[in-house]
Amino acid sequence: MDALLTVEPFGFFTLESLRAGWYLCWRQLVRILPVVVAAGAIGGAFIGGRMLVLGTLIMAIGFIAAAIWGAVLVPQLTSRWTTARYGYALSGPFGVWWGITWRIAVVALVAAVVFTPLDFLGLSLSTAFKGSALGGLGRLLMLLLGLGKFAVTLLATGWAMSKVAESQLSGMPMAPAAVPFAPAPVVSEPVAVATPVVAAPIAPAPVVVAPVAAPVTMSAPMPVAAVPSAASRADGKRQCPKCGLYETERGSVIGWYCTICGWRESRR
């Protein structure tokens, strides 16, 4: 089951109310201010040229157009704010405008009750004591009251926006947070990749196989009756290169061979 959206209204004296009010007010102001300035400049020019009726009419039309456009911008900007914050747009432009306007009017009425005595005090001091410290204190008090009224207007606007969002969006399915702008692609620096060094294959060392001597057929030991003397050993016989004895015989086919160790003369 999908989770439901819970929208809680902001507290009046909170930073969230101040941010929401500022979001709506400054976007509304930068749109209607050129119209007001243009109407005032054109109407003032006609009034200065002794065309009082035409100049007043132009200024009135311009101010009325700016007021209507400002009223139209209230639901549009509020709906854009809820879309960015909660993922849903508001429906019913007139209902949104009325829900914000009457709440701001109530707050303005309460603020007027609170600020009017202080405004009167500041105006009295600045008028009665011009050029004195009390006159300066009165002007400072009026300046601070003006800043306070502007802050209260922002707080009231943001608080009213949250109340309207609560009345329409509470209980809606949770929506993913809207991303107003797609993130710019991240361009990373090219990373030098080290080329793997492949070692050259090492050729195996050649295996030297020692030549295998032909199998030697050992003949049965012959009984030696007596060891011949050196003179008789050298008498016409060839010394065996293997065992060093002179017990060699020469065959007609195989050539010289040793009767002791079996050595044979190799013939090529």
String of DSSP letters for 96-140: HHHHHHHHHHHHHHHHHHHHHHHHHHHHHHHHHTTTSHHHHHHHH
- Span 19-71, pLDDT tens digits: 999 999 999 999 999 999 999 999 999 998 888 899 999 999 999 999 999 99
Phi, psi of 132 (to 5 degrees): -115, 175
pLDDT (0 to 100) of residue 243? 84
Tell me the CA distances in angstroms from 133 to 119, 122, 139, 144, 249, one per residue in order: 18, 12, 10, 16, 152
- Span 197-229, pLDDT tens digits: 455 555 555 555 545 444 444 444 444 444 444
- Using CB atoms within 10 Å of the CB of residue 264, give its burial: 0 to 12 exposed, 13 to 18 middle, 19+ buried: middle
Measured torsion, CA atoms of residues 248, 249, 255, 258, in degrees rounded to the nearest 10: -30
Instruction: Indicate whether 259 pLDDT > 50.
Output: yes
Cα(125)–Cα(136) distance, integer angstroms:
8
Give 41 or 240, the one with higher predicted confidence: 41
CA angle 225, 231, 234 (to 5 degrees): 90
